[in-house]
Amino acid sequence: MVRLKDIAEVCGVSVATVSRALNGLTSDSRERTAFICQTAKDMGYYPNAAARTLKTSKSNNIGIIYEDRMNHEYFSSLFDELRLEAERNGYDLTFIGRGGFAESNYYEHARQRSLDGVIVVQADFESAGIIRLATSSIPTVIVDHTYEGVDCVTSDNRRSMEQIVRHIYARGHRKIAFIQGEKGAVSRERLAGFYKICAELGIRVPVEYVREGHFHNSADCAAYIQELLQQKDKPTCVLCPDDYSCLGALWLLEAQGIKVPQDISLVGYDGILMSQMITPRLTTYCQDTPRIAKEVFSLLIDAIEFPDSHMPKQVTVSGKLIEGETV
């Protein structure tokens, strides 16, 4: 294993000089610093992460909190983009769970791991543990939920519903049903956007047209659609919680002789790859995961590197409607 002493001997400088150069703390000339760093690289030197953390109080490690199961395509895409952004900015990502800590001690867990910051992707945002972390001194960015005075990045859930409903309306639909996901900020925002644009367009929404379903649950989605189709005044188009639910419902319905879009039009949400690889291609709203990841890291790095001047922001990211063949 290459030591700082070995590099110092080759470069003809002190161990302290090598340490300062490798940690970016030196006041020496750029040429000398570059020479030391290149020599260390050529010799195969790898810094000890724990030692560097002790010296610089920075671990270059970002924590991620995700409490759900790892089986949702949208989150898989988002994680991939977050990983790429972390690499571009010189950070590692670490999933943090409750482990041996109580749920209310996410903050303590992150602090003991010496994390530079935390990204909360999915969690119970009303829980004491998440609120404690979000309002703590540890730089934290929340995805798809908002707290006052905390960095948050959300998809434009209200505006997305406006784009979806306008698209459906332009194709002659006036009886539109909406199956929500679980209760939470995302579902509340989408429902509010749905009611707002329907009111603007003069579309009446009967109470029975709005159902509280589940994200990523095709069986429930198909069951709700069948119930809607049995109504005397049945809808002509149904908005589903997400693409996975919509695709599964599409296949289950067609197995029972209900054709899409001939018998009922369906719209998904998320824009996952599979939605455009099947027939009929799904009409859906694609969330901009690359932009979400960029905004998350922009806020997080600013909070980490400039803690005294950083001002928390709430950033909204727009996506785009994908016109498929299910409407």
Q: Looking at the predicted structure, is the pLDDT value of residue 54 above 50?
A: no
Q: Are 154 and 317 in contact (CB under 8 A)?
A: yes
Interval 225-251 mean pLDDT: 93
Q: Name the least confident of 95-104, 114-123, 220-229, 250-259.
A: 95-104
pLDDT at 153 over 90: yes
pLDDT at 174: 97
Count of positions (residues) in the chain: 327
Pick the residue with more confidence: 44 or 173?
173
Q: Is 268 helix (H, G, I), strand (E, B) or coil?
A: coil
Domains 61-155+290-318 and 157-286 share a fold: yes
Residue with tokens 């749920």: 103
pLDDT band with cut points at 50, 70 and 90 for residue 50: very low
| DSSP, res 209 | G
> Helix, strand or coil for residue 280?
coil
d(CA 250, CA 193): 25
Beta bridge partners of 180: 212
Tokens of 46: 């790898």
Residue (of 308, 301, 316) closest to 119 by Cα position: 301
What is the predicted pLDDT for the residue at 106?
87
Cα–Cα dist 76/274, whole Å: 13
Sign of the alpha-carbon dihedral angle for 123, 128, 133, 135: positive
pLDDT of residue 27: 62
Indicate the Cα dihedral angle 149, 112, 304, 142, nearest 10°: -40
Rounded CA-CA distance 211/222 in Å is 12
Written out in words, the top-level CATH class of the domain with range 61-155+290-318 is alpha beta
Residues 1-10: tens digit of each pLDDT: 778 888 888 9
Each domain of the chain, given as residue ranges in start order, spans: 4-47, 61-155+290-318, 157-286
Helix (H, G, I), strand (E, B) or coil at 129: helix
What pLDDT does 319 receive? 95
Q: Which residue has the higher pLDDT, 41 or 28?
A: 41
pLDDT digits (tens, 9 = 90+) for 175-199: 999 999 988 889 999 999 999 999 9
- Give yes or no for residue 25 having a pLDDT over 80: no
94, β-bridge pairs: 63
Residue 126: is it exposed, middle or buried by C-beta count within 10 angstroms (0-12/13-18/19+)? exposed
CATH number of 157-286: 3.40.50.2300
- pLDDT band at residue 168 using 50, 70 and 90 as cut-offs: very high
pLDDT of residue 270 exceeding 70, the answer is yes
Q: Which amino acid is at 182?
A: E
| For residue 53, pLDDT beyond 90 | no
Query: Mean pLDDT throughout 122-145?
Result: 91
Q: What is the pLDDT of residue 48?
A: 60
- Is residue 45 predicted with pLDDT exceeding 90? no
Per the prediction, the chain carries an average pLDDT of 88
For residue 187, with 0-12 CB atoms within 10 Å meaning exposed, 13-18 middle and 19 or more buried, which class applies? middle
As a whole-number percent, the residues of the chain with pLDDT over 90 amount to: 59
Reported as half-sphere exposure (CB side, CA atoms, 13 A), residue 225 has a value of: 32
